[in-house]
Amino acid sequence: MSLFKLTLKELQDSFTRGDVSANEIARSYFLRLSVVESKVKAYVTVNDKEQILTQAQAIDDELKSWRKTMPLMAMPIAIKDNICTADLPTTCGSRILGQFQPPYDASVISKFREHRFFSIGKTNLDEFGMGSSTEHSAFGPSRNPWKLSHVPGGSSGGSAAAVAADECAAALGTDTGGSIRQPAACCGVVGFKPTYGRVSRYGLIAFASSLDQIGPITKDVYDAAMMLNVLAGQDPMDSTTADVPVSDFTRAFKKKDVKKLKFGIPKEFFAEGLDSEVEGAVRQAIEELEQLGGKIQDVSLPHTGVAVATYYIVATAEASSNLARYDGVKYGIRAKDSQELLEMYRKTRQEGFGPEVKRRVMLGTYALSSGYYDAYYAKAQAVRTLITQDFDRVFDEVDLLVTPVMPTPAFKLGEKIEDPLQMYLSDLYTISASLAGIPAISIPCGFSQQGLPIGLQLMGRPFEEETVLRAARAYELVTNWRKKRPAIR
């Protein structure tokens, strides 16, 4: 069997046992990339093959005398291109950063390096994470491995496509309003957004700092737990990381059922706009959870209807401030032929940012401007609290919430690019968990008649990642969705 088809856990087991060498793993993945990457276009930058092979050789040589491995040693992992890497350019899918080479690694990358992972490359994204299809990348869109005419979702579309097309064993994504979960659903893989504060954001280029979280995109739920084991934990470099103990998340899988767990079905997530095939698959999944011993209960999150509006004020306000630093002075490109400083700022931003980023900066600046601050930004913050309180209330009654991830399966390239509102509505079901900062996972739960994957979302209480993982794993083990792979070759 080809190594690139294995899950992270399977690959790690084979490597730990000594059945496969680091060299064989690296070669297998670069061969895979040479076959499918030109079709999928998951990566902005692919790492240098010779360099990875040299790392592989060093690992294999060392293991000859002393066989001590680390969980992610020699594991081929892809990194979303808004996470700083000292050895590869970090573009954020934007022209404005040019070939920016960060002078340091993000904390999550330093942790991976301690394990001696293989950094396969940097994956494509909507510019600065703003979008739901990767079509807003300055480097062109990635494709959905299930149907190349369709989007892979976004903004971590490159990471999800790379995992689905076996171009890496696992990937890192980032999620501000759904960008891990939504592309995972589109590509039929697992995407896990941890609790806000669980994983360090140091070295993650900021979009909306009160919402951004790094998390894994993987082939199954077990792999997500393995990745989280390395990613999670307090970091002195990020004061928003929480001082919460990190256990071995794979312990969650000791129990194979969901007996005693209560699942809430929020009625607002099954209202108008939900595609009937998606609803059918999700309802079927709810039945499976019940058969596994779970208790199903209808609940209400009354402020769901204003989540998208709230998000697009909070996120754009934070983005307008975070992106003020791209003025041609310190990072990336600088417009030529300017007579004075303001003109240089203006031209650089005019040339460097794409239309969606400009739209967000304008929206956010407006929401923060004096005279409108109270009407928009302050109001949105108050509503954000109401949304969080909705969750606090239902989590007194139930342990987990079950919903769709996306109102429809993946759409065609070009279908929504001219209609920002339609694009924004792709995140209707993922945004609430981001605003509330709670953990949420997307796992495959079926396929549309067109053969496109459908995702199921489970949301849990803050820092109860284990409960989310346990239920997700129990569900995936009794269904075989994860075993279906796209036919791309």
Interacting residues toward ligand GLN by CB under 6 A:
129-132, 155, 175-179, 207, 315, 427
* Cβ pair 442, 181 in contact under 8 A: yes
User: Considering beta carbons, is residue 224 or 428 the nearer one to ligand GLN?
Assistant: 428
* Cβ pair 446, 177 in contact under 8 A: no
User: Considering beta carbons, is residue 199 or 398 the nearer one to ligand GLN?
Assistant: 199
User: Considering beta carbons, is residue 216 or 264 the nearer one to ligand GLN?
Assistant: 216
Q: Where are the alpha helices (DSSP H) in 91-136?
A: 107-115
CB-count exposure of residue 330 (10 Å: 0-12, 13-18, 19+): exposed
> Which of 9, 41, 80, 193 does the annotation list as catalytic?
80
Q: Where are the beta strands (DSSP E) in 409-479?
A: 440-447, 453-460
> Which of 94, 132, 142, 155 does the annotation list as catalytic?
155
Tell me the C-alpha to C-alpha distance, in Å, between residue 26 and each of 4, 203, 218, 223, 428.
9, 26, 18, 19, 39
SS3 401: strand
User: Considering beta carbons, is residue 142 or 176 the nearer one to ligand GLN?
Assistant: 176
Rounded CA separation 392/66 (Å): 50
The least distance separating ligand GLN from the CB of residue 336, rounded to whole angstroms, comes to: 31
The least distance separating ligand GLN from the CB of residue 177, rounded to whole angstroms, comes to: 3
The least distance separating ligand GLN from the CB of residue 378, rounded to whole angstroms, comes to: 21
Task: Based on the residue annotation, tell me whether 179 is a catalytic residue of this protein.
Answer: yes
Name every residue whose Cβ is closer than 8 Å to that of residue 188 and which is 6 or more positions away in sequence: 146, 164, 444, 447, 453, 481, 484, 486
Residue indicated by tokens 């793993």:
25
Tell me the C-alpha to C-alpha distance, in Å, between residue 370 and each of 309, 342, 362, 366, 383.
20, 22, 14, 9, 20
User: Considering beta carbons, is residue 338 or 365 the nearer one to ligand GLN?
Assistant: 365
The least distance separating ligand GLN from the CB of residue 207, rounded to whole angstroms, comes to: 6
- What phi and psi values does residue 26 have, to the nearest 5 degrees? -60, -45
Residue nearest to ligand GLN (CB): 179
Task: Based on the residue annotation, tell me whether 156 is a catalytic residue of this protein.
Answer: no
The least distance separating ligand GLN from the CB of residue 384, rounded to whole angstroms, comes to: 15
Neighbours of 260 (CB within 10 A): 10
* Cβ pair 191, 441 in contact under 8 A: yes
The least distance separating ligand GLN from the CB of residue 181, rounded to whole angstroms, comes to: 9
Task: Please give the helix or strand (H or E) that residue 297 lies within, else none.
Answer: strand 295-299
SS3 440: strand
User: Considering beta carbons, is residue 253 or 366 the nearer one to ligand GLN?
Assistant: 366
> Which of 156, 179, 434, 442 does the annotation list as catalytic?
179
Task: Based on the residue annotation, tell me whether 80 is a catalytic residue of this protein.
Answer: yes
DSSP 8-state symbol, 378:
I
Residues identified as active-site: 80, 155, 179
